[in-house]
A and B are shown apart, each in its own frame.
Chain A
Amino acid sequence: LWWHKPVIDQELLQSLPNLKVIANSGVGMDHLDLKLVASFGVKMANAPHAVSSSTADTGMALLLASARRLVEGYHIAISAGTEYWEADFLGVEVTGATLGIIGMGSIGYKIALRAKAFEMNILYHNRRRRKEQEEQAVGATYCEKIDNLLQQADFVMVVVSLTPQTHKLIGKREMELMKPTATLINISRGAVIDQEALVTALQTGVIRAAALDVTYPEPLPRDHTLLKLKNVIITPHLGIKTDKATYMITEEAVENILAALNGLPIPSEVL
């Protein structure tokens, strides 16, 4: 497995005149120049089905770890200087809290299903509203204006794909609308958040904490301020890194490739 290699550029495409299809392992396509690839008559496909559960699980893992200060707690538990547990080392409650999901595609919806079992109050913001039965099944309330979601949520989870419209979707303004006790979780792409604004927000207590499985770039430069803040958890793009997901992604990619080569409809074609 390689990460974003080889780079699909003009030179590579010109050198592969018989190339029929590029099957991406994963769902995000922001690293590919879709127009360029299409102009060479090459089809593209991603692997949306294989990733959604694993990514939703990562989102929940980050939400819980941040709320309950799990990583900080671990360091206290193993630290050479620890003599006793402080009684005032407290996190915030997840059960019964309000979760705002920004981006309610397959992954966002699976997060809602999981959060519902924690009796969370679920708000969501999406390009289009989901069907009523879908909303009722997870007890989700649609927020047409993202501001309403930001103002009410204890946890804000960002689950959108990266497009020109979602670039820096969450910036200074959005973070200031959030509660000072709220947590921001990003499992989409680093560029959806304005990272400098996030640093300021975390340093000045505008929001309580953040948990990021994705940053821009990945990894961050080793001297980046985000790496030094106590109220942020960063994970190395774990989203789909499980044994099962890797297997399923490969199966899905192969299925897409075979369909393309046999002139059949491609299950997960990206246009």
Chain B
Amino acid sequence: RPTIDRELLESLPNLKVIGNSGVGVDHLDLKMISNFGVKVTNTPHAVADPTADIGMALMLASARRLVEGCQIAVSPDTKYFAVDWLGVEVTRATLGIIGMGSIGYKVAQRARAFNMRILYHNRNRRRKEEEEAVGAHYCEKMEDLLQQSDFVMLVVNLTPETHKLIGKKELGLMKPTATLINISRGGVIDQDALVEALQNKVIRAAALDVTYPEPLPRDHPLLKLNNIIITPHIGTATVQAVRMMAEEAIANMLAVLNGQPIPSEV
């Protein structure tokens, strides 16, 4: 908010720049804004660490069944903790990262410390030194990544090319023991296909910080499944990140107004 539409832009003839707080700009009509001669900036640096952290948090919470576990721990019906109630191992498992930009790379750095085997798929292959630093193997074909991964993490931005990138076919290629984690945008996953895949145990579980729309309608089937964790888009919801995003946005806007090089123009 506010929605940046034609009406708003026409009413602000002196508008020079829109400083977006956050890195995703899929909610902005970039062509239209550009036609008004208005610049758009985002805050890629402030978001990368907390978003990578949320990706790791969701992967660990899903693998170890943390949310279910909390419910058992506090439930009035719990008399003892079942010993054969198990999650899946993260250490030494295979993580497939789809989208290896700054955030994806930071996820790889963190996952490496868990001795995870890291595969990645990206528009461009990273440099050899970058791959070696995190022990990541490039998968030119996304199918190869999907077939081998225990955890698949989506870290792309939402564009016409990535819209419904993960659909029925892709979910079908994943292992039935695999977990899908989405920290990019809801529109990257075909949500109806995901519901079906989770219901039929085509994949083990999913963990989503983002959906389409946000929030989901209260009667959406995703909210009723017990093999899914959904969080309310908290990728950058920390005290420190909010401040850093504001600082980065302001620095960008001042650069535009002062005619200086713009750090993060979109």
> A21 CB to closest chain B CB, in angstroms?
21
Residue among B65, B70, B115, B214 facing the most chain A CB atoms (10 A cut-off): B70
- Smallest Cβ-Cβ distance to A213: which chain B residue: B69
**Residue B37 is within 8 A (CB to CB) of chain A in the complex:** no
List residues of A (230-268) whose CB comes within 8 Å of B's CBs. 233-238, 241-246
Asked if B83 and A1 sit within 8 Å, CB to CB, the answer is: yes
Residue among A62, A78, A96, A237 facing the most chain B CB atoms (10 A cut-off): A78
Neighbour of A89 across the interface among B57, B85, B237, CB < 8 A = B237
| Segment among A65-73, A127-135, A170-178 that sits at the interface with chain B | A65-73
Chain A window 64-102, contacts with chain B (Cβ cutoff 8 Å), 1 for yes, 0 for no = 110111110110111010111100011111111000000
Inter-chain contacts of B72 with A (CB < 8 A): 236
| Segment among B165-173, B187-195, B227-235, B258-266 that sits at the interface with chain A | B227-235
**Residue B131 is within 8 A (CB to CB) of chain A in the complex:** no
**Residue B141 is within 8 A (CB to CB) of chain A in the complex:** no
**Residue B175 is within 8 A (CB to CB) of chain A in the complex:** no
> B74 CB to closest chain A CB, in angstroms?
5
Q: Kindly state the separation between the CA atoms of A204 and B58 in the bound complex, as whole angstroms.
A: 29
Asked if B78 and A93 sit within 8 Å, CB to CB, the answer is: no
**Residue B257 is within 8 A (CB to CB) of chain A in the complex:** no
Q: Kindly state the separation between the CA atoms of A220 and B219 in the bound complex, as whole angstroms.
A: 34
**Residue A118 is within 8 A (CB to CB) of chain B in the complex:** yes
Asked if B232 and A85 sit within 8 Å, CB to CB, the answer is: yes
Q: Kindly state the separation between the CA atoms of A71 and B114 in the bound complex, as whole angstroms.
A: 23
- Smallest Cβ-Cβ distance to B74: which chain A residue: A227
Inter-chain contacts of B233 with A (CB < 8 A): 85
Asked if B241 and A71 sit within 8 Å, CB to CB, the answer is: no
Inter-chain contacts of A243 with B (CB < 8 A): 86-89
**Residue A186 is within 8 A (CB to CB) of chain B in the complex:** no
Chain B window 55-88, contacts with chain A (Cβ cutoff 8 Å), 1 for yes, 0 for no = 0111011011111011011101011110111111
Neighbour of A61 across the interface among B53, B61, B79, B81, CB < 8 A = B61
> A150 CB to closest chain B CB, in angstroms?
21
- Smallest Cβ-Cβ distance to A83: which chain B residue: B215
- Smallest Cβ-Cβ distance to B93: which chain A residue: A244
Asked if A242 and B87 sit within 8 Å, CB to CB, the answer is: yes
Chain B window 12-39, contacts with chain A (Cβ cutoff 8 Å), 1 for yes, 0 for no = 0000000000000000000000000000
> B3 CB to closest chain A CB, in angstroms?
14
> A79 CB to closest chain B CB, in angstroms?
8
Inter-chain contacts of B70 with A (CB < 8 A): 71, 233-235
**Residue A269 is within 8 A (CB to CB) of chain B in the complex:** no
Q: Kindly state the separation between the CA atoms of A77 and B79 in the bound complex, as whole angstroms.
A: 28
| Segment among B105-113, B151-159, B246-254 that sits at the interface with chain A | B105-113
Asked if A74 and B231 sit within 8 Å, CB to CB, the answer is: yes
Q: Kindly state the separation between the CA atoms of A133 and B66 in the bound complex, as whole angstroms.
A: 34
**Residue B203 is within 8 A (CB to CB) of chain A in the complex:** no
Q: Closest 10 interchain pairs by CB?
A: A117-B113, A64-B57, A61-B60, A95-B49, A53-B91, A244-B89, A236-B81, A1-B83, A234-B73, A93-B240
B interface with A by C-beta (< 8 Å):
49-50, 52-54, 56-58, 60-61, 63-67, 69-70, 72-74, 76, 78-81, 83-92, 109-115, 214-215, 218, 223, 229-234, 237-242
A interface with B by C-beta (< 8 Å):
1-3, 53-54, 56-58, 60-62, 64-65, 67-71, 73-74, 76-78, 80, 82-85, 89-96, 113-114, 116-119, 218-220, 222, 227, 233-238, 241-246
